[in-house]
């Protein structure tokens, strides 16, 4: 038997999110989103996580880099032309909910917002790039967070359904690939981004987090139903953060802790969204987090919907792995940071400048763990290295460290495919430099395309190609064979 390689129709591309690159935060009828209320800088999550934070926008004291993004709103044609030059087969982006329903609870959509995405989608299709659309990526209407209390409020199901129905009806005949919520499991550690809940409106209480998840699961199933009714060819997935999790040693205490963390963080949301039912460990998890099951609003009709409309594929982001050692005290453990969840330092791994532990083999493990559990197609819709880039005197940007990171991860993907995993595609994160989600910085760059803009908002916004641009072009051209 010959070794399996990437499918001939493998979806090579790149990924972004509206709030991190579009800018034009108040143009053409757009309303404010939760992302518009997130200050820039390394203190972003500390501010959002504080007891006092109540979504107030305070331009006197903070800067808001998402308001301007990288001005993709006006420059998307130039950006998509660059993606086409790299040979992208697909482009993952999100629709800003607030361009379509500025406050979220309106009954009529904003035509100017819909027109913007007509243009964006048509531009992709003109270049034979398949759009891959995230319906909601960390940018729910601020009004729904402030006035309705975020996703713990069941009314949001109807608002999301209207939004999903509007965009699926408008674009569903020409867009095949969709995802319902970005990194839905991120709420476990930080419900501000995907559930619109901070401490001051219930984000610190797991009762609310699990209720919000349930509401999102129902909303997601409704979107799956609508999508398949509009166009049976649509493939609509869920999307999670996957952090491969290791026990630091063979101590059964750590092995058990690892198993539980996997269930709670990596698998809980997919277990519901892929298998269409709550997993066996749900009750134990509720007990552990003080969730009163009787007080959760979960109807039989909801459960029937979840069972009837599971997702078609699993989209996930993978940046780093985590390690667990429960036997160490807080003083003894050397903790590291990561994509919303950290862990103890793994001595076998190097970390990025932001402390995320780099682990390509962990991606092969992730792909095997997910595929063997669900046997549904997998789509790596985010991966990449956030790093500081230097522009040389001649204008070149020699990001060999990024090439090295991506090469090792593509090799791991190829190994996983040879292991038997059904992998649909790969869209590295921030294919063009954009505003970081966790810190609001521009200097944490992921792109193949450099954008001249700094953390304070200075710069020409001019685009230029990094060394990784040509490298990725060749990877796509050879369907992942030439990684040199
Ligand atoms: C993912 C998010 O968690 O990681 C993206 O879906 C985010 O929105 C990406 O940008 C990278 O994280 P950061 O904090 O480096 O931008």
Could you read off the pLDDT tens digit of each residue along the chain, which spans 484 residues?
Answer: 556 799 999 999 999 999 999 999 999 999 999 999 999 999 999 999 999 999 999 999 999 999 999 999 999 999 999 999 999 999 999 999 999 999 999 999 999 999 999 999 999 999 999 999 999 999 999 999 999 999 999 999 999 999 999 999 999 999 999 999 999 999 999 999 999 999 999 999 999 999 999 999 999 999 999 999 999 999 999 999 999 999 999 999 999 999 999 999 999 999 999 999 999 999 999 999 999 999 999 999 999 999 999 999 999 999 999 999 999 887 887 887 776 677 889 999 999 999 899 999 999 999 999 999 999 999 999 999 999 999 999 999 999 999 999 999 999 999 999 999 999 999 999 999 999 999 999 999 999 999 999 999 999 999 999 999 999 999 999 999 999 9
Burial 65-99 (b: 16+ CB within 10 A, else e): bbbbbbbbbebbeebbebbbebbbbbbbbbbbbbb
- pLDDT (0 to 100) of residue 331: 80
Ligand 1 midpoint to CA 339 (Å):
7
Expressed in angstroms and rounded, the spacing between residue 430 Cα and the centre of ligand 1 is 8
Residue nearest to atom 3 of ligand 1 (CA): 339
Query: What is the pLDDT at residue 78?
Result: 98
pLDDT in the model for residue 329: 82
Q: Which two tokens stand for residue 434?
A: 């954009």
pLDDT of residue 123: 98
φ, ψ dihedrals at 247, nearest 5°: -80, 140
Tell me how many degrees the CA angle 446-10-276 measures, rounded to the nearest 5: 90
Radius of gyration (C-alpha) of the chain in whole angstroms: 21
Name the residue at shortest CA distance from atom 9 of ligand 1: 437
* Tokens linked to 450: 């450099």
Closest residue by Cα to atom 14, ligand 1, is: 438
Closest ligand 1 atom, CA of 436? 16
From the CB of residue 172, how many other CB atoms can be counted at a distance below 10 Å? Answer: 22
Give the rounded distance of the alpha carbon of 54 from its chain centre: 24
Kindly list the structural domains of the chain, giving each domain's residue range(s) and its CATH number in brackets, ordered by start: 11-477 (3.20.20.80)
pTM score, whole prediction: 0.97
Ligand 1, residue 186: give the atom nearest the CA: 3
**Residue whose CA lies nearest to ligand 1 atom number 2:** 437
Residue nearest to atom 15 of ligand 1 (CA): 436
Give the Å distance between the CA of 437 and the centre of ligand 1.
5
> Separation of 438 CA from ligand 1 center, angstroms?
6
Is 396 buried (19+), middle (13-18) or exposed (0-12) by CB count in 10 A?
middle
Phi, psi dihedrals of residue 239, rounded to the nearest 5°: -150, 125
**Alpha carbons 105 and 141: distance in angstroms, whole number:** 9
Query: Residues lining ligand 1, judged by CB closer than 6 Å?
Result: 17, 20, 138, 182-183, 241, 317, 339, 382, 386, 429, 436-438, 444
Please, what sign has the CA dihedral across residues 347, 350, 356, 362? Answer: negative
* Residue 439 CA, closest ligand 1 atom number: 14
pLDDT at 6: 97
Torsional class of 270: left (φ above 0), alpha (ψ -120 to 50), beta (otherwise):
alpha
Q: Over the range 432-444, which residues count as b (16 or more CB within 10 Å of their CB) and which as e?
A: bbbbbbbbbbbeb
Q: What is the pLDDT of residue 340?
A: 65
Ligand 1 atom with least separation from CA of 356: 15
The closest-lying atom of ligand 1 relative to the alpha carbon of residue 444 is 15
CA 436 to ligand 1 centroid distance, Å? 6
- Tokens of residue 117, six digits: 């995405």
Strand, helix or coil for residue 56 = coil
* Best mutation site among 132, 188, 429 for ligand 1 pocket (most ligand atoms within 8 Å of CB): 429
Active site positions, annotated: 183, 382
Q: Tokens at residue 75, please?
A: 């420059």
Atom 12, ligand 1: residue with shortest CA distance: 437
Phi/psi of residue 381, nearest 5 degrees: -100, 0
């Amino acid at each position: 038997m010959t070794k399996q390689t990437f499918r001939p129709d493998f979806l090579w591309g790149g990924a972004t999110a509206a709030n991190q690159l579009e800018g034009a935060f108040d143009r053409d009828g757009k309303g404010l989103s939760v992302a518009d209320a997130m200050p820039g800088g390394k203190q972003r999550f500390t501010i959002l996580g504080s007891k006092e934070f109540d979504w107030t926008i305070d331009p006197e004291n903070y800067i808001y880099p998402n308001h301007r993004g990288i001005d993709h709103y006006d420059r998307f044609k130039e950006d998509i032309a660059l993606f086409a030059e790299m040979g992208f087969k697909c482009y993952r982006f999100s629709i800003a909910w607030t361009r379509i329903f500025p406050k979220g609870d309106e009954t009529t959509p904003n035509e100017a917002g819909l027109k913007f995405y007509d243009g964006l989608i048509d531009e992709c299709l003109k270049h034979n790039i398949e759009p891959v659309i995230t319906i909601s990526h960390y940018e729910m209407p601020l009004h729904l967070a402030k006035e309705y209390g975020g996703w713990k409020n069941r009314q949001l199901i109807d608002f999301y359904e209207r939004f999903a129905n509007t965009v699926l009806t408008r674009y569903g005949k020409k867009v095949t690939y969709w995802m319902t919520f970005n990194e839905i499991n991120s709420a476990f550690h930080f419900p501000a981004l995907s559930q619109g809940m901070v401490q001051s409106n219930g984000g610190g209480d797991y009762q609310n987090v699990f209720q919000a998840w349930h509401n999102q699961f129902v909303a997601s199933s409704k979107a799956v139903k609508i999508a398949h009714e509009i166009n049976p060819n649509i493939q609509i997935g869920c999307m999670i953060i996957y952090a491969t999790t290791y026990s630091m040693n063979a101590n059964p205490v750590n092995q058990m802790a690892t198993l539980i963390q996997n269930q709670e963080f990596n698998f809980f949301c997919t277990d519901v969204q892929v298998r269409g039912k709550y997993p066996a460990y749900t009750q134990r998890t509720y007990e552990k987090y003080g969730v009163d099951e009787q007080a959760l609003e979960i109807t039989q009709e909801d459960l029937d919907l979840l069972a009837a409309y599971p997702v078609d594929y699993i989209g996930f982001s993978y940046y780093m792995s985590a390690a667990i050692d429960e036997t160490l005290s807080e003083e003894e453990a050397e903790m590291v940071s990561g994509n919303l969840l950290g862990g103890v330092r793994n001595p076998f791994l190097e970390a990025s400048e932001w402390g995320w532990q780099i682990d390509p083999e962990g991606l092969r493990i992730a792909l095997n763990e997910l595929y063997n559990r669900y046997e549904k197609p997998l789509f790596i819709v985010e991966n990449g290295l956030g790093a500081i880039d230097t522009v040389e005197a001649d204008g070149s940007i020699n990001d060999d460290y990024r090439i090295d990171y991506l090469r090792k991860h593509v090799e791991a993907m190829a190994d996983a495919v040879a292991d038997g995993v059904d992998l649909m595609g790969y869209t590295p994160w921030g294919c063009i430099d954009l505003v970081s989600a966790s810190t609001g910085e521009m200097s944490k760059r992921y792109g193949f395309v450099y954008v001249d803009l700094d953390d304070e908002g200075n710069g020409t916004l001019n685009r230029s190609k990094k060394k990784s641009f040509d490298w990725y072009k060749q990877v796509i051209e050879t369907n992942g064979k030439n990684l040199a």
